[in-house]
Amino acid sequence: MAVPAPAQKSKKKTEDEMATQTLPVLKDPPPAVAAETDHLVFHLSPLSGKGLLSQQVRDALKALLRDTRGATIVKLRAFVAGTGDMRRVPAIVSEVFTEHKLALPAVSTIAVGALPLEGAQVVIESIAVDKRAVNPNGLAFYSGRPVADLRPVADVLHATCFLSSLDDLPAVKPAITAAFPGATVNFVQLQRLGLERVDVCEAVSRLESAPAAPIAIENGVARVHSPKIVMTGIQMAFRSSEADFRLAFDRLGRVLEPLGTSNNNVFWASTYTLTRSVEEKVRAFEAGFFPRANAPAGTILMFEALPSLDAAMAVDVMAAAN
C-alpha cells in the first residue's frame, strides 16, 4: 500500500493552517451616512469600569445594539478617557458590526479628561434609524449653552453636558434635569486639567410643529424638517491657519456631495479644539465660511486630545438632504 510522504503531509497541513489563520481586512467606517430625519432615535451606552479600553468599547457597542432593538445605527460619537489608544475605536466598531453583518456607521472619536465613573474609559452616543416614524415634525438641535442659561425644553431626546470638572456635577445636575426632563444625558469632563470653569450642554429635541422651511436656524437652535440628515465622522486640521481649517471643511464638503448635499446645507457643526487660541480662530473662520443667513448651530470647545497627535482641531457636521 502506498503511503504519502511525510513531507507532503506536513506541507498540506501548513497551507491549511495559514488559510485558516488569514483574517479578512476590515472596512473603515464610512465618512458620512444619510438617514431619514423622522426615523432618528438617540441612545447612550452605559458606563463600565471593567477591563481595558477594547473590552469597554465592545461592551458599550453590545449594549447599544441591544438597546436600539433592531434600529440601524448610523452614527457613533465616542468619548475616550484614560490612557487607551482611541485610534482603536473605529477598528473595533468595524469588527463588531461586521460580526453582526450590519452596515457600518460613521464614527467620531475624541479624548476627554474623565468620565463620571471610576475606571470608565469610554462612553458612546449613537444615532439610529428606527423602523417607525417617531419625529413626524422634525428635530431641533440646540447649541451648547452654559447651565445657568438653560431653560426647560419640551420632548428632549438626548443631551451632552461638557464640564471642566466632574466635581461640579452634583451642583449643576438639578438644573440640567429640570431643563431636559426625561432625556438621556451624557456627562464628560473636557480636559484632565481644565484651567477655566466650563459647564455647557447641547441637546436635541423632537419638534411639536414642523418649521416652514427644511432648515430654520435662530439663536443657536437648528430646527430641521428635511427628508434626510447626513451625518459625518470627524475631519482634522493639522495646523491652525485659516487655510488648514478650510481644507478640513472642504473635505467635509466632498464627503457630503455623494449623499446629495453640501456645506451650504450644514445646520450643525461640532468642533473639537485643543487650545484657546485655536478655538478662537475656528470661531472666526466658521463665521465667514458658512453663509451668514444659514450659519449652523453647534458647539466649539477644548478637549483633551484628538485621534492624531499632529491635529490642531477636528470637526464633524450634520447637513440637510432630500
> Is there a contact between 304 and 192 (Cβ–Cβ < 8 Å)?
yes
Report percent pLDDT > 90 for the chain: 87
Mean pLDDT, residues 297-307: 97
Residues 304-316: pLDDT tens digits? 999 999 999 999 9
Pull the grid cell for residue 52. 481595558
Per-residue model confidence as pLDDT tens digits over 145-161 = 999 999 999 999 999 99
Element (H, E) at 190: none
Q: Cell for 26?
A: 476590515
Instruction: Classify residue 151 by its DSSP letter.
Output: -
- pLDDT tier for residue 292 given thresholds of 50, 70 and 90: confident
CATH number, domain 29-131: 3.30.1330.40
Q: Which whole number is the average pLDDT over 256-278?
A: 96
Reported confidence tier of residue 195, pLDDT bands at 50, 70, 90: confident
In this structure, of 21-30, 39-48, 182-191, the range with the lowest mean pLDDT score is 21-30
Give the residue from 275, 274, 316 showing the smallest Cα distance to 109: 316
The residues spanned by each domain of the chain are 29-131, 139-206, 211-322
Kindly report, residue by residue over 230-250, the tens digit of the pLDDT.
999 999 999 999 999 999 999
**Fold classified for 211-322:** 60s Ribosomal Protein L30; Chain: A; (3.30.1330)
* Beta carbons of 125 and 165 less than 8 angstroms apart: no
Domain 29-131 matches domain 211-322 at the CATH topology level? yes
| CB distance 232 to 256 below 8 Å | yes
Return the CATH architecture of domain 139-206: 2-Layer Sandwich (3.30)
For range 78-83, the mean pLDDT? 95
Q: How many degrees, rounded to 5, is the angle at CA 293 between CA 220 and CA 269?
A: 45
What confidence score (pLDDT) does residue 66 get? Answer: 96
What pLDDT score was predicted for residue 16?
54
pLDDT of the residue at 194: 75
Average pLDDT over residues 128-144: 97
